[in-house]
Structure 1
Amino acid sequence: MNLDLFPPRPPTTRPLERLLEVTRIYLEPEVEQHPRGQDILARFPDAERVHVRSHWNIPGLYGNEGNVEAWNRIKGSTLVLGLKKTMRFEENGRSADYLPPSAANGCVMACAYCYVPRHKGYANPVTVFVNIDQIQAAIRRHAQRLGPKREANSVHPRYWVYDIGCNSDCSADAALSDNVKDLVRLFTTLPNAMGSFATKLVNRELLTYAPRGKTRIRFSLMPHAQAKLLDVRTSPIAERIAAIDEFVAAGYEVHLNFSPVVITEGWQEAYDALFQQVDAALGHEAREQLACEVIFLTHNERLHEVNLGWHPKAEQVLWRPDLQEAKVSQGGGANVRYRTGLKGALVREFLALLERRMPYCRVRYAF
C-alpha cells in the first residue's frame, strides 16, 4: 500500500478563501449594537445587508424548495447574523458531557450527511451569533454550578467537557469571527471544564490560540474516495491527518472522529488503508494522547429528499433501504440506520480493523 497516494495540499493561511465570498448578509436589528456584530460587518463592507426579524425566519431563504438547486452557491455567498436567545444546556454523555448554547449554526461546507440542514430546509448557510459575551457567561455559570468532576467517565476523567461545535464547524467559524478564539480562551480559565469540537477543515489560525490542553479537537476522517463524494467543500483527508501533530504541539488534545461510517462495497479495505495512512503520519506525542469515537451512519428522510435535489450521487450510498431500517429520533424525525444485528456485526468488524492497525488508539465509544 502506497501511503503517499494522497499528499496534503500546501497549507493556506486563509482556509475559507475558496469557500466563502460573502455578497449578502441577513441580520437581526440588534446585531449592529454588539461589538462582535460590528466586527463581522466590517470584514465584509461590500456585502448587501438585509435586516430580518429572526435568523430562523428569513422569507425566501429557508423553506424555499427552489433553493435546493443553489445549495452550494448560497453557502458560499450568504451569511446570517443573529443573537442567541436561549441559553440552554443539554446533557450528552458521548462526545461531551454537555452541549452548551452554540455560537454558530450551519456551515460553509456541505457534507451530504449533515444533520443541521434538516431543520432549516432547502438552504443551510452559516449563522453566527454575535452575543458571544452572554454565551461565555452562561458557560462559566454552568461550570461553576457543576463544581469539580468527582467521577471519571468515558468523556474525560477530570474535566466537564462542552461540545462547542455541535451545530457548526468551529474551524470554519474561526475564519469568520473571534467567537471560537474567545471560547478556547474561556476554557483555559475554568479549572473544571474544557471545550471540544469535531472538524473537517484545517484552519491553522487555531494554532495561535494557546489552548493549554483545555480544548479537544476531533478530526473527522473517512476513506479518501468516500470523502471526495460526501465531504463536499472540506479539507482533504490527507491534510486533516497531516495537521494532527501540529495541533497536538500547539496544546490541543487531538482525537479522531470516524464519523459517519458509511457501508459501501470494499469498505473494509478502504478503512484498512486509512488506518495505515494515519498510523504512518502520527508522531509519538500524538499517539500517546490519541482516542477516537466511531459513529455509523444515521440518515434522515427529509434530508434525503433535500439531497436528491443537489447531490443525488451521494444518496446512492447514504440511502440504502436494503441495509437500513426505520428509526424514530427523540425529536420525532423519520431516521434510518443500519439494521439491528447487521450493525452490531459491522461495528465489531470495524473495531477489529482499527485494533490491528492502530492498537494504541483508545475507542471512547462506538455505535
Structure 2
Amino acid sequence: MFITRSAREFAQGRRMVERAAAMGVEIVELPGDRLKLDLPDDQRRAYAEAKGTLAIVVAPPSRLRLQPIAPSADWRIDLAQGCPAHCSYCYLAGSLKGPPITRAYANLEEILGVAPDYAGVGTVTSRSVARAQEGTTYEASCYTDPLVLEPVTGSLSAAIAWFGQWQADVQLRFTTKFADVTPLLGIDHGGRTRMRASVNPAAYARFEGGTAPVADRLAALRAMAEAGYPVGLTIAPIIAAEGWQEAYGRLIEDAAVALAGLAQLDLTVELITHRFTDGSKATLDSWYPGSALDMGEEGRAIKRTKFGTQKHVYDANLMRDLRIFFEERIAQTLPAARVLYWT
C-alpha cells in the first residue's frame, strides 16, 4: 500500500495507514504526490500487480464538484476509485486511465462537506414523482466498490454515519459484490443509506473473479435489512447467454428466499443489461484473454452515449424479451420490490 505526502496531512489518511498497519500490510510513504510504480513490462503481470495495489491519495478538485449519475442517483460522490475484483465485464475498464490501481481518498471530510450544496437540486430522484421518496440521492459506488475497501479505509462507515446525522431528505447509495457488512450493522444510519447487492446467477461466477459468492451477498442484504437499512438488488450486468431465462429465474427466486419474512422490507431493483464500448472491449480483452464472455457484435445495436461515444447494447428484439421477462418475474416473485429503472 502507498500513501502520498498530501494524504498524510489528513486524519482520514492517517487512520487508513493505522488500519493497514494493524493488518500487517506493508506501507510505502511516498515523498510526493505522484504514484510512480515500478510495474513489469509484461501487460498481464502489470495489470495483476496494479489490481493488487492500494494507494491513499487526495481526491482532486474535480471530485469535489459532484456530477449527475443517471439513472442511479442525483449525484456521484466518490470515496475511492478502482476495485481489486476481477470482473471480465468491468465497467471501469474503459474509463480509468493507466494501470488499474485502487485509490482511496484521504480528504473524506472535504468530499462529504460539499454534499449539502447539492441537496434538492438533482434531476434523477429530486424531481422524479416515482422516486421522490428517496430524496436527493448520492451514489458512492460509481467508480469503486466501497465495501471491499472498508477494512482498510473505514470510509463507507464514516459516510453512512455522516448521512445518518444529516437531518434532511437525502440518501446515500452503494452497491457491492462483496458481503462483509458486519462493520455497518451497528451504525446509526437513520434510514438514509440504501445498500444494494450486485448479483448475477451463480453460473456466471467465472465472470466475477475475486468477489463474494452470490449466496453470501444475498445473506448480507438480509442482514442489512434486519438492521433497518433500505436495501436493493442491482442485477447487473444482465448477460443474455444460453439458458439465461432459467439462470435469472433461479436468481430472483433465491433473492426471494433470502429476504422472506422480513417485516417492513424496503426493496428496490435496478436492471442493467450488458454493454461495452470499443475501448473497454480492447482493455478487457488484454486483461482477460480467452474469457468466455460474449462481446461480439452479433445481436448488438450501437447506442450513442451522452459523451458522444458509442456503446454496443443488445438489439431491440432481445432487449424487449429481456425486459418483459425480468419485469414479469420480479412482479411474480418479489411483489414488494420497486423496479427503479431498466437500461
CA contact (8 A) 1:218 1:257 kept: yes
After superposition, the C-alpha distances for 1:20-70 in whole angstroms (9 at most, x for unaligned) are xxxx41x43211111111222233443333445446xx4656xx8733344
Matches within 5 A, 1:178-197: 178-190=154-166, 191-197=168-174
C-alpha separation in 2, matches of 1:123 and 1:150 = 36
Aligned residue type for 1:206: L
1:19 counterpart residue number:
none
Q: CA RMSD in A?
A: 2.5
Check the 8 A contact 1:210/1:251 in 2, yes or no.
no
State yes or no: 1:124 paired with 2:100.
yes
Normalised by the length of structure 1, the TM-score is 0.82
Pick one of 139, 144, 149 that aligns with 1:168. Answer: 144
For 1:16, the equivalent position in structure 2 comes to none
- Residue 220 of structure 1 corresponds to which residue in structure 2? 198
Q: Is the 8 A contact 1:96 1:155 kept in 2?
A: no
The range that moved more, 206-215 or 194-203, is 206-215
SS of 2:84's equivalent?
coil
| 1:270 maps to which of 218, 225, 247 | 247
Counterpart position of 1:30 = 6
Amino acid at match of 2:96: K
How many equivalent residue pairs? Answer: 333
Asked whether 1:296 is paired with 2:301, we answer: no
Report the counterpart of residue 67 of structure 1 in structure 2. 43
Q: Distance in 2 between matches of 1:122 and 1:318?
A: 25
- Structure 1 residue 113 displacement after superposition: 1.7
Question: For residue 27 of structure 2, what is the aligned residue in structure 1?
Answer: 47
Alignment partners' CA distance in 2, 1:310 and 1:97: 32
Does residue 1:360 correspond to 2:328, yes or no?
no
1:81 — aligned with what? Answer: 56
Q: TM-score, normalised by structure 2?
A: 0.88
2:71 is the counterpart of 1:94: yes
Q: Name segments (4+ residues, structure 1) moved above 6 Å.
A: none
Amino acid at match of 1:254: V
Shift of 1:236: 0.3
Where in structure 2 are there 5+ consecutive unaligned residues? none
Aligned residue for 1:327?
303
Identify the residue that residue 18 of structure 1 maps to in structure 2: none
CA contact (8 A) 2:145 2:177 kept: yes
Q: For residues 120 and 127 of structure 2, what CA distance do their matches in structure 1 show?
A: 17
Q: Secondary structure at the match of 2:165?
A: coil
Q: Is the contact made by 2:75 and 2:137 (CA closer than 8 Å) also made in structure 1?
A: yes
Question: Which amino acid in structure 2 is aligned with residue 258 of structure 1?
Answer: I
Q: Which residue of 2 aligns with 1:11?
A: none
